[in-house]
Amino acid sequence: MLTSCYDNQETSMTNSTPVKSDLFTRAVAAVAIGGPILLVLFSGTLPQGSRGQLIVDGHMFIVTALATALILRAVYALGFSHARKRLALSQNLPLTA
């Protein structure tokens, strides 16, 4: 009887991303992949003249939305409270509103 070298090995199925970011990562991926697809499908129903303009404007909107989401995610990761404390200390404002 021949045995394989893989018989006694277990596969580690751990995620490399934390659970908190799973929803954000999936949402960004869905917009990045699905946005252009939907844009081309919707523009297929338009006349030839306005079709190209819709695709260009739509792609600019998608890129802007993705960039904004990534910037907000980075700011969130750095911590709004830390930024707020630094801003309040630099302007001599109270920390409570």
Domain residue ranges of the chain, discontinuous segments joined by +: 20-91
26-36 confidence digits (pLDDT tens): 888 899 999 99
Asked if residues 64 and 22 have their Cβ atoms less than 8 Å apart, the reply is no
pTM greater than 0.75:
no
Question: Per residue in 15-26, pLDDT tens?
Answer: 555 555 567 888
